[in-house]
Amino acid sequence: MRNLRFNWLRVFVSLIICVPCFCSAQGNDVEINAKYHPTSRYVPPMDSSSRIGSSRQVEFTLSSHISLYKKIDTTTGKVKLLNGAFFGKKTPFSNSGYNKQILPDDLYSISAGISYYASINKTWAYTLFLNSALNTDFISVDYNDLFLTGGIQFIRQFSPRFRLGFGAIIHNNLGKPMFWPALSVYWNFGRRFNVDIRVPDEGNGLAYTIGVGYQYNDHFKLGFAFKPYTISYDVERKNEINNRLMNYWQLPFELSGTYTRGHFGYTATIGFTALRSFAYAEKDIKNMFTKYPYHSLSTNLIFGAGIKYRF
């Protein structure tokens, strides 16, 4: 049963104050994506005798970027940008054959955020970003369901075709502040190829992108990317540890094609997940290196489609 007594006003205020999710967009858009993972065999922990169960997974994602402020100094060429973003994700699982509950039926991630970009001179710039997300199964919701992330990245523009960024992020996935490195690389080589590395990438949880793109023409491009991500949820589990923290890892390799015409962009994706793994842990940094039993789903294909509208 959903927790109807939870104070939604407090959550809304927290999301606005904590301003989530890394965003470097310089325009306005809204995008809807869906990814389908066919039925996969459950892979239990090493010390488990259970060998039954399977799950089918779907990911629905809605995102939007809004340019809040833009200033260009025509004398010095310095640029200042303030951008906002919203991300929402629903992940339903169709579970069958288990002798006890392993995976929740539904997982949700909702975040809204802001980022600030400013150039220092002709070759250097920096960006500040702040994150706040509600990651939950909506069964029992409290402030343990709020996950915060923020950071800074410095960007060096070596040439119009190559830029490098480095910095750090801070998050509270284990209940206390933890630091993580941040890196971005964009290299446009040849006439049509580019390398794109974003650590972290924008989106739900801590997402990463390591990809190669090919611009076939003005309307169509192809991309191949390794896009691992980890996301933590607070879920209700009977007869489990108190804090209900679910850490979820996914390691997908994706081939995508995007066709753009006017304000619209259409994307189709196919790929496979080398790993989908999750563990139930305690939200306490002192247990960071504690080895909790990991559950997994077997390697399987991914099929996806999305549409973006720029305005």
**CA atoms of 240 and 3, how far apart (whole Å):** 19
Other C-beta atoms within 10 Å of 108: how many? 19
The verdict on residue 2 lying in a domain is no
For residue 210, CA distances in Å to 175, 183, 215, 251 come to 28, 11, 17, 12
What pLDDT, in 10s, does the model give residues 16-40?
Answer: 333 333 334 457 999 999 999 999 9
For residue 120, CA distances in Å to 75, 111, 181, 183, 191 come to 14, 29, 22, 19, 29
Residue span of the structural domain in which 292 resides: 8-310
What pLDDT, in 10s, does the model give residues 235-261?
Answer: 886 555 555 789 899 999 999 999 999
The verdict on residue 33 lying in a domain is yes
The verdict on residue 1 lying in a domain is no
> What pLDDT sits at residue 241?
52
What pLDDT, in 10s, does the model give residues 58-117?
Answer: 999 999 999 999 999 988 889 999 999 999 999 999 999 988 888 889 999 999 899 999
**CA atoms of 89 and 57, how far apart (whole Å):** 13
The verdict on residue 282 lying in a domain is yes
> What pLDDT sits at residue 238?
54
Residue carrying the six token digits 């206390």: 176
Q: Which of 151, 138, 175, 19 is nearest to 87 (CA)?
A: 19
The verdict on residue 78 lying in a domain is yes
Domain count, the chain: 1
The verdict on residue 272 lying in a domain is yes
> What pLDDT sits at residue 49?
65
